[in-house]
A and B are shown apart, each in its own frame.
Chain A
Amino acid sequence: MKVGLFIPCYVDALYPEVGVQTYKLLRSLGVEVDYPEKQTCCGQPMGNAGFERLSVPLAEKYDQLFRDYDYVVAPSASCAAYVRVFHPGQIRGKDPQHECMASKKTVDVVEFLHDILKVDSLPAKFPYKVSVHNSCHGVRELGLSSPSERNIPKFNKIIDLLSLVEGITVVEPERPDECCGFGGMFSVEEKAVSLKMGSDKLRRHISTGADYITGPDSSCLMHMEGVAKKLGLEIKFVHVVEILSAGL
């Protein structure tokens, strides 16, 4: 199985360690991993801001770069969701016949580990209490967990994976899948609402008594970390992959 690693722009620039750990984890599980160097961004920042037309070439490039892999794995639920949900329509807008292969094969790393590799043991140890941040697009676009709004059997793929880690205590905050208020440029255009959403979310995570907030989306973590530091709230942040790969 050959996997193309998609390291979204902000993970590349701000959280390279998340990319590194994803690579190491996949390799440790026997997966052949390639990183196409010409990759950049899925286009979501422009799309959510209302400039999808500017990001269509990115979707096309993405498809060219990744279409021949068995899977494309990204350590970022929101970017994987954007590729899966929005790319096909964007490309079809220009070329109705085009089949968006890369979009179909794109998964978040949690999905890949849980659904494709069906990982059932990991050597990782993480002797801390972590509060799971169920990011919106992970929950409601990728189905990483059952949305609290729906009456469907309860599940949570992130928690399933974290439960394989030795020494960890996993909790969820009240309102377990309410938005943290990032939303790309939403966080600057609606800065007051975004800050309020972020601080509310942080307080709910903190009141679980957790040492860390963890999630599949560095963008939510980046937002909450920025708010926490601004407000002087004490809690640490770690991407799910960094826990699952601990000790590699």
Chain B
Amino acid sequence: MSTRHSTYAEHYLQDNEVAERHDKTFFGVREKRDRMAHDLPEWEDLRKAADGIKRHTVTHLAEYLEQFEANAVKNGIHVHWAADSDEYNAIVLDILRSHAVKKVVKSKSMLTEECHLNESLEKNGMEVIETDLGERILQMMHLAPSHIVMPALHVHREQIGDCFREQIPGTSESDDPTYLTHVARLHLRKQFMEAGAGMTGANFGIAATGEVVVCTNEGNADMSTSIPKLHIVSMGIEKLIPDYRSMAVFQRLLARCGTGQETTVYTSHFRGPRPGGEMHIILVDNGRSQILGDADHWQTLKCMRCGACMNTCPVYRRSSGYSYTYFIPGPIGVNLGMLRDKDKYYDNVSACSLCCSCDNVCPVKVDLSTQIYRWRQELDSLGHSDPMKKFMSKRMAFLFNHPGVYTGTLRLAKAVNWMPKCLVNSKLNPWAYGHKMMKFPKNSFHRLWKKKKI
């Protein structure tokens, strides 16, 4: 009885020190987020409003996209539409080629990860430089992100120091984070100066004004777009919000939920190209319009990728991003993975104890744990249910549907008899992996009641 997630997690937990550090790091972010939530008397009203705004926007998305496009075009922005990742990658490549760009600086964008943009560009001879420090570290180390907001927190300073010493000439022996950050600063400065284009994601698109908003702490999105003259924005169509009044709600929630800060250092509003420059926005669907039609799971479209559900998830914190088979881990990743490809990512559905903590941190109230529960109900018909779980569930259902047999079974055989043999045999018994077997009392409640001993 295991999944790829549970197997990877078991392996990950072999190193207790690493695992504890991971748990502590991300619970620390959760605690910072809690302080933010408790500091604002209007916190729950903000969540309610954010949920309402997103519900409204995603259920009027076609209209808002048209409004957004019209306003963006008025602002002098080129707007492109991509139905899937292939179209998206082709559009980016086309824009870059038509400007004879060789090197691109990029700020963090989960959408580009989703579409495998970097691989596509590199295959076509472009040099792509990630500029978020965490993303740059991962790029240099050839690793994938293990969290959507703090993608490299699982990497230790010594590993980063070694990587920099190998790849950035002049890096000294120190592994001090301040020193290493400044090494990266100088290294990236050079990239900003040389790049022919800057790419960003979009935290929000504002329909009423035709602009995008990008939030960072490092200022790398701003560096990427204030030196190169070509700015390409990649934006999932669900990132739209109606107007500035909505923007205020989300600006206040995003950083508080994501990193436990009152604000990101930079909240940058791009409403058109720079003087003498060009700005392109690519609106990407890649499955989102289909999710809207899914009665059980459409609410994932409300997600603004703050990462709060990962930080609070007791399973994520103890298994790390790499135990999940989809590139977005944690509660939202379990759901988005299933929506991407059920046959490929069903292994992550086990990674939930249904504690419901994620539902309560989510700033837009996505019903994350209920959705995971619903996916579990689908696994059997998809042919991905665990045979042992199915066997046990059927046995239980049979017994519980036949009260006579059930009470008889408990009385005579102390429940152990209705468990499959291999579960009782301690070597194969997964319960015995972490537990001492419980002792069954002589009488069940039912029997005591019947014998009038209560």
Contact = CB atoms under 8 A, between A and B. Distances in A.
B201 to A, nearest CB: 27
Interface string B346-384: 000111111111011100000000000100111110000
B355 A226 contact: no
A197 B396 contact: no
Nearest to A222: B438
A151 B38 contact: yes
Given A190-B6, A226-B436, A16 B357 contact: no
B411 to A, nearest CB: 10
Contacts of A192: 6, 9-10, 13, 433-434
Interface in A49-96: 49-55, 57-58, 61
Contacts, number: 222
Most buried by A among B314, B361, B378, B440: B314
Nearest to B8: A192
A179 B355 contact: yes
B435 A53 contact: no
Interface in A102-156: 136-137, 140-141, 147-152
Interface in A3-46: 7, 9, 11-17, 19-20, 23-24, 35, 37-41, 43, 45-46
A56 to B, nearest CB: 9
Interface string A196-210: 111010000000000
Contact of A40 (B318, B354, B378, B406): B406
Contact of B441 (A14, A148, A184, A193): A14
A58 B318 contact: no
A13 B440 contact: yes
Contact of B410 (A13, A181, A229): A13
A212 interface: no
Contacts of A225: 438
A224 B56 CA distance: 44
Contacts of B431: 187-188, 226
B353 A197 contact: yes
A46 B378 CA distance: 13
A14 B446 CA distance: 11
Given A178-B314, A186-B354, A189-B2, A12 B400 contact: no
Contact of B449 (A37, A50, A197): A37
A195 B432 CA distance: 10
Contact size class for B?
35 or more
Contacts of A183: 352-355
B124 interface: no
A242 to B, nearest CB: 14
Interface stretch (B127-135, B229-237, B247-255, B385-393): B385-393
Contacts of A171: none
Contacts of B434: 187, 191-192, 194-195, 198, 226-227, 230
Contacts of B396: 41, 45-46, 54
A54 B394 contact: yes
Contacts of A200: 23, 318
Contact of B397 (A58, A182, A227): A58
B40 interface: yes
A226 B438 contact: yes
B290 interface: no
Contacts of A147: 357, 360
B353 A137 contact: no
B394 A49 contact: no
Nearest to B432: A230
B356 A140 contact: yes
A226 to B, nearest CB: 3
A49 B376 contact: yes
A52 B443 CA distance: 29
Interface in B406-454: 406, 410, 414-415, 430-431, 433-438, 440-441, 443-450, 454
B312 A7 contact: no
A189 B393 contact: no
B183 interface: no
Most buried by A among B354, B373, B390: B354
A55 B397 contact: yes
Given A9-B400, A179-B353, 6 more contacts: A24-B454, A46-B397, A49-B392, A136-B357, A179-B357, A189-B6
Interface of B: 1-3, 5-6, 9-10, 13, 19, 23, 27, 34, 37-38, 40-41, 43-44, 312, 314-315, 318-319, 349-357, 359-361, 373, 376-380, 385-386, 389-390, 392-394, 396-397, 399-401, 403, 406, 410, 414-415, 430-431, 433-438, 440-441, 443-450, 454
30 contacts: A13-B414, A13-B415, A13-B444, A20-B454, A40-B403, A41-B396, A48-B376, A50-B380, A51-B385, A54-B394, A136-B353, A136-B355, A136-B357, A137-B356, A149-B34, A149-B361, A150-B37, A150-B44, A151-B38, A178-B314, A183-B353, A188-B431, A189-B389, A191-B434, A193-B6, A193-B315, A226-B438, A227-B434, A230-B434, A230-B435
